Amino acid sequence: MKNIFSTKPLAAAGALDGAGIGFDHGASRAVIDAVLPNVDNGRFAVKCVAGERVTVRAHCFTDGHDVLRVQLCWRAQDQNQNQKEFREVPMKPLVNDVWEAAFSPPSVGRYVYTVVAWVDPFESWRHEMTRRVDPQDVRIAAQVGALEIAAAAARAEGSDRAELQRWATELDATAANPGADVTSLKALALDDEYADLVRRHPDRRHAVRHPVELPLVADRERARFSTWYELFPRSAGTVPGVHGTFRDVEARLPAIAAMGFDVLYFPPIHPVGRMQRKGPNNALEAGPDDVGSPWAIGAAEGGHKSILPALGTEEDFRHLLARAADHGLEIALDIAFQCAPDHPYVKAHPDWFRWRPDGTVQYAENPPKKYQDIYPFNFECEDWRGLWAELKSVFDHWIGEGVRIFRVDNPHTKAFPFWEWVIGEVKREHPDTIFLAEAFTRPKVMHRLAKLGFSQSYTYFTWRNTKEELQAYFTELSTAPGIDYFRPNAWPNTPDILHEQLQTGEPAVYMSRLVLAATLAANYGIYGPAYELREHLPRGPGSEEYLDSEKYQLRHWNHDDPASLAPFIARVNRIRRENPALQRDRGLRFLHVDNDQLLAYAKASPDGDNVVVTVVNLDPHNAQWGWVGLEPASVGVKDGQPFQMHDLLSGQRFTWQGDWHYVRLDPHSVPAHIFVVRRRHGDERDFDYFL
């Protein structure tokens, strides 16, 4: 051809070139307009859990009335070049040019998926053949079909080939016989078994492939569903004023496990810096016995790979890990990439810090706030490669000790490219590792961290208190695009955040906030024992800091307090464990209630079998009542049929019927219902809940 085809594709440099566009594929008529889910067009990975179904949709069509075939292609993203072959799953058309298929990544790790589509000449012919009525048309069409079948035979081998050839010959001969019965001829042309045979040997010469292989991370189940308990090991001692140890923590394990937690998370366990050590309540001067902030990491005894001697030895740590595992508890460590002024790194790698003209290091600050006990790393230093490698070795060290969950402190104050690299590298070697991002910052920043690879993310839950706020926020968290990569981990409190609402110490507030976190989010946690013992005094008016915070001093807790919420927490966590609907973030739907103090929502398991309806009274002082809108059909009950609502908190059972249901909650007993829907045997189960 002339040089009119020599022009480069029009798509701008760097833009994706659509498969089938351009000049080598003019005859490729299938269009793949979109493949979902994807995170920023495949720049980042979608998240899922190994062994669970990933549903993929593609927007596919072609010109005119010809018939498409569309296949979902997936494979493990292995470094091994031999495992590059895709497995294919046929996609089925829904409405409006949307095609769908699903696959289940068999094990943890990275995968990629994409879509292939082609205009199928045999299916197109078959589709038209079904609609032909004129005898002469049927005969000619049968001859055309015989050619397609013969072409399929040529693509096949062995017995398939022979059988297809036989069919093609018979069809052609029958079509050519003017005496042949047209109805029989059409039946022969449309034979289902033969058609399946052709489908096994499709004509994919003009197939189009979506130009992006979309990445997917398959985590283990705990990334999706986990229940965290945070404690300061140094306050686990039994004698007031005596530094707690890992052995003391071991003594607490049965109680923590009994409350139903499965992740036990410790603030940093490393040697605490002595230079610029802070005193109680963040005092600038520390006394000789003050223990300092565990986040001021590093001293003569060592840094991020060392254990504070007062807590125990490496041997003690390993022992604790094993004992925790016996109780179904996994230990999560805090990784805070920052140094006390006497951290060994400061001397060994002065080039990793930002020095000032006066010979001091630029400590962390957010003027006028100053963190004199903490030096940040300079991620713009010349030796950033050395810095990255050393920081990765911190993860590697604790992975070597048996830890697989890391809560990362303030990741948004470290260079973003580092996180993508380090999480990618660590998970490539240990794909069962889970990273929780402790970033309480602006929304786009938090989302970026999740895109970069963090398995879970802290949220704004603490500051979402009204019905309107909670509905808006959790609707956002449970829908696309965030749901594909951002896994919320909701905390009613942390050592840094004693929300104003909690400062009254009212049990109703502590119960309702716990129920909200535990039933709105599949991942949640509390900072205890402060939570179950309703520690509630702030450092000062308007402050969200705890008074006498464990961050700066030892505390001693009265676990035997009869007012402890431990039994309540145990009950809520047991409900979570027993109800798959509460173990994922998808499938959340808020229900209408004619009372702004009552929040109601339904969650369903993927198969729809388990539906949990939670109703929370947000008013800690007054009983509130109202009508909850719940259509029976939306939870798998036939309209008009009664169904049972079993309150798993109180054990009470209510019978509901129709669309509107009266609910009354008194904060002076329990401010919430967590109902499971009990359908009668024989009620339809294959119901249309929602995606």
Q: Nearer Cβ to a second copy, position 40 or 326?
A: 40
Q: Nearer Cβ to a second copy, position 365 or 688?
A: 365
Q: How far is the CB of 444 from a second copy (least distance, A)?
A: 5
Query: What string of DSSP letters covers 387-404?
Result: HHHHHHHHHHHHHHTT--
Strand-pair partners of 90: 71
How many DSSP H helices and E strands does the chain contain?
14, 30
Structure tokens at 43: 């720049």
Which of the following is catalytic: 172, 334, 438, 585? 438
Q: How far is the CB of 27 from a second copy (least distance, A)?
A: 5
Which of the following is catalytic: 120, 172, 203, 409? 409
Q: Nearer Cβ to a second copy, position 442 or 653?
A: 442
Q: How far is the CB of 2 from a second copy (least distance, A)?
A: 7
Give the C-alpha separation, 377 to 420, whole Å: 17
Indicate the DSSP class of residue 167.
Answer: H
Active site residue 342: no
Closest CA to 70 of 85, 48, 98, 90: 90
Q: Nearer Cβ to a second copy, position 328 or 386?
A: 386
Quick check: helix, strand or coil at residue 408? strand
Give the C-alpha separation, 473 to 509, whole Å: 19
Q: Nearer Cβ to a second copy, position 440 or 689?
A: 440
Q: Nearer Cβ to a second copy, position 77 or 478?
A: 77
DSSP H or E segment with residue 556 = none
Q: Nearer Cβ to a second copy, position 43 or 577?
A: 43
Structure tokens at 182: 């047209």
Q: Nearer Cβ to a second copy, position 94 or 325?
A: 94
Q: How far is the CB of 63 from a second copy (least distance, A)?
A: 5
Taking the alpha carbons at both ends of the chain, their separation in whole angstroms is: 51
Q: How far is the CB of 375 from a second copy (least distance, A)?
A: 14
Quick check: helix, strand or coil at residue 603? strand
Q: How far is the CB of 28 from a second copy (least distance, A)?
A: 7
How many CA atoms are closer than 13 Å to the CA of 538, on its beta-carbon side?
16
Q: Nearer Cβ to a second copy, position 67 or 570?
A: 67
E-strand ranges in 169-323 read: 208-209, 214-219, 226-230, 263-266
- Helix/strand/coil (H, E, C) string of 333-349? EEECCEECCCCHHHHHC
Question: Would you say the C-alpha torsion 496, 499, 500, 502 has a positive or negative sign?
Answer: negative
Closest CA to 474 of 438, 516, 421, 506: 516
Q: How far is the CB of 365 from a second copy (least distance, A)?
A: 8
Structure tokens at 343: 């951290």
- Helix/strand/coil (H, E, C) string of 555-593? CCCCCCCCCCCHHHHHHHHHHHHHCHHHHCCCCEEEECE
Q: How far is the CB of 81 from a second copy (least distance, A)?
A: 12
Q: How far is the CB of 150 from a second copy (least distance, A)?
A: 12
Closest CA to 112 of 132, 150, 84, 136: 84
Quick check: helix, strand or coil at residue 453? coil
Closest CA to 569 of 492, 496, 654: 492
Phi, psi of 71 (to 5 degrees): -125, 135
Q: Nearer Cβ to a second copy, position 21 or 399?
A: 21
Per-residue CA distances from 145 to 125, 128, 130, 171, 174 (Å)? 7, 10, 12, 8, 12
Question: Would you say the C-alpha torsion 560, 561, 564, 567 has a positive or negative sign?
Answer: positive
Give the C-alpha separation, 295 to 277, whole Å: 11
Active site residue 128: no
The length of the chain is 691
Q: How far is the CB of 347 from a second copy (least distance, A)?
A: 22
Q: Nearer Cβ to a second copy, position 442 or 668?
A: 442
Closest CA to 603 of 665, 520, 683: 520
Quick check: helix, strand or coil at residue 153? helix
Give the C-alpha separation, 411 to 154, whole Å: 59
Non-local CB neighbours of 154 within 8 Å, separated by 6+ positions: 161
Q: How far is the CB of 216 from a second copy (least distance, A)?
A: 9
E-strand ranges in 295-388 read: 330-335, 338-339, 364-366, 369-371, 375-376
Quick check: helix, strand or coil at residue 170? helix
Indicate the DSSP class of residue 377.
Answer: P
Catalytic residue numbers read 409, 438
